Amino acid sequence: MIFITAKFRVRPEHADEWIEIAKEFTQATRNEAGCMWFEWSRSVEAATEYVLVEAFRDHDAGIYHVQSDHFKSAQRILPSYLAETPRIINAVIPQDGWSSLGEMAVEDNRVS
């Protein structure tokens, strides 16, 4: 799979609205056949920073994504809300989904 993490620094006046601003792009991407996940999180340390974690099934799915109309629209619209160019890590990983974090396995003896 293609695994991507990107950091988006949003202009302060748009930070609280970023999820709504990116909503159409987010929904369209999530609806792509090759999209495994496309999830936004807001930084707990920097209120103007959002982290996007996304994954695509394979190279073809990644190509489809960046050539899609909704990606091209996002390229035109979203930068005007950003304080800087997003930073990205993009890697091909030889697995097809999330693995369990064995070092923190949840057993039946959970704290209540």
pLDDT tens sequence across 31-59 = 999 999 999 999 999 999 999 999 999 99
The string of DSSP codes covering 57-86 is SSHHHHHHHHHSHHHHHHHHHGGGGBSSPP
What is the separation, in whole angstroms, between the first and last Cα of the chain? 37
Domain ranges of the chain: 2-95
pLDDT tens sequence across 66-91 = 999 999 999 999 999 999 999 999 99
- What is the helix, strand, coil percentage profile of the chain, to 5? 40, 30, 35
Domain at 2-95, CATH class: alpha beta
Q: Average pLDDT over the chain, rounded to whole?
A: 95
Give the pLDDT mean for 86-112: 87
pTM score over 0.75:
yes
How far, in Å, CA of 60 to CA of 68, rounded?
12
